[in-house]
Amino acid sequence: MLEFFFRHYEPWVDRFVFFDDGSTDGTLELLRSKQNVEVRAFHRIRPDSFSLSAQAVRNNCWKESRGRADWVIVTDVDEHLYHPRLKSYLRDCKRRGITCIPALGFDMVTDSLPSPHEHLARTRTLGAPSHGYSKLRVFDPNAIEKTNFGIGGHVAFPSGQCVLPERDELLLLHYKQLGADYVVPRNAALGKRLGKRDIRNHWGIQFFYDLPKYQRHVDELKRKLVNVTDSNYCPWRDHREPRWWRQSRFTAFLNRIRMSLASWLWWLPRGIFR
């Protein structure tokens, strides 16, 4: 996925920081061959949970960019931010005082792994609108105090000077469903990273899909596919999935309390709620 990732992001991102979780497949050699890439070790601050450890990284890694960057992107390698005029869109958002740009999520689907030289956002453009993949991935580090990402980054409750765009134009294309030959063994490998707490809380449950269940999941997605580059498709109007950043203040407040309570409960001794 790294070749696809760099092909998409290198034209407009100045600096990359990767957190490595013990790669042994040539990833480190590729990353270290690039001058604008820094590689850091991913430390599991919660030994029994990959998800909670990753949540801590997402909520803190970007803070060193204050005073150094116009925008920060916190993302996974298979997530591509998309807008038909992305660079000019970000410049316009900066000019208008926008500081926080959540992206409408799409679960992109292909029947087989794309060829190595493709630019996925141009050649693989069919995706199913997804509220779970609608995430905060780009924001102004000088205006945001805390991101308060939830597990997997699927929601966020940023604090500070949070100014949203009037309409949602930015898309997040999640390139995960790239054919059973790729996804099923990949899921099995990712499932091995999960800790006992992840499994107990069903975080990453999709990593344990067998082939028939994966195919049923993809068949369901295919019934919802849209072409995200179609000029007649207006995401702010046609993406009908719920958007956590457009909730009422009361609903957002309740969700923050729920998330905070859940995070607090993970610290309690295991035997208390038996």
- pLDDT, one tens digit per residue, over 154-167 is 999 999 999 999 99
Any domain includes 128 = yes
Q: Determine the distance from the C-alpha atom of residue 88 to the mean position of all C-alpha atoms in its chain, rounded to a whole number.
A: 22
237 in a structural domain: yes
Handedness of CA 7, 8, 12, 13 (dihedral sign): negative
Domain span at residue 208 reads 2-12+50-273
Establish how many alpha carbons lie within 13 A of residue 27's alpha carbon, considering only the half-sphere containing its beta carbon: 15
pLDDT tens per residue across span 43-95: 999 899 999 999 999 999 999 999 999 999 999 999 999 999 999 999 999 99
CB-based contacts of 225, cutoff 8 Å, min separation 6: 109, 126, 127, 128
Residue 44 in any domain: the answer is no
Cβ–Cβ < 8 Å for 138, 49: no
Total domain count for the chain? 1
238, part of any domain: yes
143 and 212 Cβ atoms separated by less than 8 Å: no
| Residue 262 domain flag | yes
In a domain, 94, yes or no: yes
The amino acid at 119:
H
pLDDT digits (tens, 9 = 90+) for 27-53: 999 999 999 999 999 999 989 999 999
Q: Burial-class residue 77 by CB neighbours within 10 Å (0-12, 13-18, 19+).
A: middle
Full-model pTM: 0.90
Quick check: is 36 in a domain? Answer: no
pLDDT value at 260 more than 70: no
Task: Kindly list the distances between the CA atom of residue 54 and the CA atoms of 19, 35, 153, 223, in Å, as whole numbers in the listed order.
Answer: 10, 25, 9, 32
Whether 261 shows a pLDDT value over 60: the answer reads: no
272 pLDDT above the threshold of 70: no
Question: Running DSSP on this structure, what letter comes out for residue 242?
Answer: -
Long-range contacts of 3-8 (CB under 8 A, 24+ apart): 3/116, 4/80, 4/114, 4/118, 4/119, 4/120, 4/175, 5/77, 5/78, 5/80, 6/34, 7/119, 8/80, 8/119, 8/120, 8/121
User: Is residue 259 within 8 Å of residue 150, measured between CB atoms?
Assistant: yes
For residue 134, give the nearest of 150, 117, 120, 118 by alpha carbon.
150
List, in sequence order, every residue forming a beta bridge with 160; answer none if it has no partner. Answer: 144
Q: Is residue 188 part of a domain?
A: yes
